[in-house]
Structure 1
Amino acid sequence: MEKEQLIFGIRAIIEAIQAGQEVDKVFIQKELTGELMKELQKVMKRSGINFSYVPVEKLNRLTPNNHQGAVATISPIGFIDLEHLVESTMDSSSKPLFLLLDQISDARNFGAIIRTAECTGVNGIIIQKSGSAPVNGDTVKTSAGAVFNVPICKVEHIKDAIFYLQSSGIKTIAATEKTDDTLYDLDLNEPIAIIMGSEERGINPSVLKIVDEKAKLPMFGSIGSLNVSVACGAFLYEAVRQRK
């Protein structure tokens, strides 16, 4: 993790959040208490900042400086507003292609997905504030710099983003094995948003209930699933093939 992406010290983190910096995640020393810590927790909750409690050894590895029991990672990019992204894309493209990631938590998977998204002309990536991988050094490296070229939105809830996309005339398609339809049965040559689920549990069942279409990849081996970044690549390139 690169030092320029870190803020350390409770007061410094509070001030960074209040100043509107793109704080991705805060690591807090386990069992740390005090009035300043309570204030940090209130500020993080109000702003929807991801945080986790970790042993002090983890903080010591992140920074040799006096961290005071808290270290924050800062995103190297700015995030775009969902409504602005959708409106501007609809104005410039007749067949926009969006990608929603339902709490993908591994930074390297996230980076690999961003790289493929950039190569396939995805107009924007939408992630949820809570439970999603941070945009950190691993993400930047794995994306080969594509993270700086693809607009990324952070939303409170993926379901709200899906409702907004649907109301904007964009068909939502969930990548899931819980369907009889394969990817190759669908028409992707229209405004669409593809939804990919987390590494462990896939797409949340409450999200699956509201999407327009569900599709799976045909599997012929003994292993029942693909890495999420590989599966995402298959979906995106099928969209490219149909649109050519």
Structure 2
Amino acid sequence: MEDTTTIFGIRTVMEAIQSEKNIDKIYIQKGLNNTLFQELLSLIGKKGFNISYVPVEKLQKLTQGNHQGVVAKISPIEFPDMEEVVQRILEDTNATPLFLLLDQITDARNFGAIIRTAECCGVHAIIIQDNGGAPVNADTVKTSAGAVFNIPICKVNHIKDAIYYLQGSGVNVVAATEKSDQSIYETELNKPTALVLGSEGRGINPSVLKIVNDKAKLPMFGTIGSLNVSVACGAFLYEIVRQRIPLTPKGGM
């Protein structure tokens, strides 16, 4: 199975959309404007795909073919319905639910590293936003060490949609942010929990921070004020693991 499939050309991408292919991201050349392109934009608008407007040089790096100003990536995975996944997990009495919400992580390798750590820590599902985040591409698959195939990844229109739904289902939503007076080590995590992580540059959107149940930070003792998001993710998730297991299990690294 290929990690990801690249398709290009306006009509090709239109046909992929019409045939319900699982398109992860569409790259469009800046300044492109003609009748056929307008038809494509109309189709894209109806489906709400993840779009990036890029210079032609970016498209030339993505493919050597006659791209006509449009390149699309077809995801190697399916994105299941979030509500169905959440309900299935909540109904499982053998585990305390743990969800991971990513507020527009943009780097594919960071995304893959986060997926790998999440799978190792027993995260039951990852929830991402339709637009603005990294695609599930070859770099994501490779960096995840295949974990991308072992954990449900759900897409929503906005992270806030997922937060409201989880809160309504009895899940405590915790934001990983330095904008907190509370340490992660002072936060109760041994209950149904959803951890929110923000993008590499701006962190968690302020509108998202306003609606979470708790905010928690990692203690920092150096001169650099923040960690790489995938490293921070690991620290937060393993504190959740620590709180949820009575004894350190044998084996592991």
TM range (shorter): over 0.9
TM-score using structure 1 length: 0.96
- Runs in 1 of length 4+ with deviation above 3 angstroms? none
Question: 2-side partners of 1:121 and 1:231: how far apart?
Answer: 16
Alignment of 1:1-244 (within 5 A): 5-93=5-93, 94-244=95-245
Q: Which segment drifts farther, 3-12 or 137-146?
A: 3-12
Q: Kindly provide the CA deviation profile for residues 88-140 of structure 1, in whole angstroms up to 9, marking residues without a partner as x.
A: 10111441000000011111100000000000010000000111110001100
Question: 2-side partners of 1:8 and 1:229: how far apart?
Answer: 31
Question: 2-side partners of 1:139 and 1:80: how far apart?
Answer: 18
Specify the SS of the correspondent of 2:79: coil
CA gap 1:3/1:168 in 2 versus in 1, 3 angstroms: closer
One-letter code of the match for 2:187? Answer: L
Question: 1-side partners of 2:87 and 2:213: how far apart?
Answer: 20
Percent of aligned positions that are identical:
66
Give unpaired runs (5+ residues) of structure 2. Answer: 246-253
CA gap 1:15/1:178 in 2 versus in 1, 3 angstroms: same
Question: 2-side partners of 1:175 and 1:26: how far apart?
Answer: 30
Q: How many residues are aligned here?
A: 243
Deviation at 1:4, TM superposition (A): 5.3
Coordinate RMSD, CA, aligned:
1.3
Q: Which segment drifts farther, 116-125 or 24-33?
A: 24-33
Question: 2-side partners of 1:66 and 1:105: how far apart?
Answer: 27
Question: 2-side partners of 1:239 and 1:77: how far apart?
Answer: 27
Specify the SS of the correspondent of 1:172: strand
Deviation at 1:13, TM superposition (A): 0.7
Q: Do the aligned residues in 2 keep the contact of 1:3 with 1:63 (CA within 8 Å)?
A: no
Specify the SS of the correspondent of 2:91: helix
CA gap 1:137/1:3 in 2 versus in 1, 3 angstroms: closer
Question: 2-side partners of 1:71 and 1:56: how far apart?
Answer: 11
Question: 1-side partners of 2:182 and 2:97: how far apart?
Answer: 23
Deviation at 1:60, TM superposition (A): 2.3
Q: Kindly provide the CA deviation profile for residues 125-181 of structure 1, in whole angstroms up to 9, marking residues without a partner as x.
A: 000011111000110011011101010000001111000000101000000111110
Question: 1-side partners of 2:199 and 2:57: how far apart?
Answer: 28
Question: 2-side partners of 1:133 and 1:157: how far apart?
Answer: 15
Q: Do the aligned residues in 1 keep the contact of 2:4 with 2:73 (CA within 8 Å)?
A: no
Question: 2-side partners of 1:29 and 1:159: how far apart?
Answer: 30
Q: Do the aligned residues in 1 keep the contact of 2:3 with 2:141 (CA within 8 Å)?
A: no
Give unpaired runs (5+ residues) of structure 1. Answer: none
Deviation at 1:65, TM superposition (A): 1.9
Specify the SS of the correspondent of 1:28: strand
One-letter code of the match for 2:72? Answer: A
Deviation at 1:185, TM superposition (A): 0.4
Q: Which residue pairs with 2:248 in the alignment?
A: none
Question: 1-side partners of 2:20 and 2:228: how far apart?
Answer: 34
